[in-house]
Amino acid sequence: MTEDGGRFARATLSATRVWLPVAIALAGAALIAAGSAKGSLAAAGVVLMGVALIVWMINWLFRLSLESNREREHEEAARRYFDEHGRWPGE
């Protein structure tokens, strides 16, 4: 991947993980503040706050699954090493 492509990917990832939920939550907070006199706007704001939480949680769960896959790959490599050498790596 080129340097510009990597920079774009990091910016997109940051926007999705952090700034998208923040923007949704801010929109929800604005609707809650604007709709204090009208219940329907406040309710829409509460829904947007929930959506922001869901987007953040999906990103968090995705990062957890990637970490779990990396740990599994390390374990498989250690098992292959054990099969070849008869001992665990680092012992």
Q: Which residues contact 64 (CB under 8 A, 6 or more apart)?
A: none
How far apart, in Å, are the Cα atoms of 90 and each of 20, 22, 67, 85? 43, 44, 22, 12
At 79, list the tokens: 């098992």
The pTM assigned to this predicted structure is: 0.67
Q: Would you say 19 and 11 are in contact if contact means Cβ atoms under 8 Å apart?
A: no
What tens digit of pLDDT does each residue of 52-78 get? 999 999 999 988 888 888 888 888 888
Q: Is 40 helix (H, G, I), strand (E, B) or coil?
A: helix
pLDDT at 47: 94
What tens digit of pLDDT does each residue of 16-27 get? 888 999 999 999
Q: Share the mean pLDDT of the chain.
A: 86
Q: Where are the domains of the chain?
A: 3-85
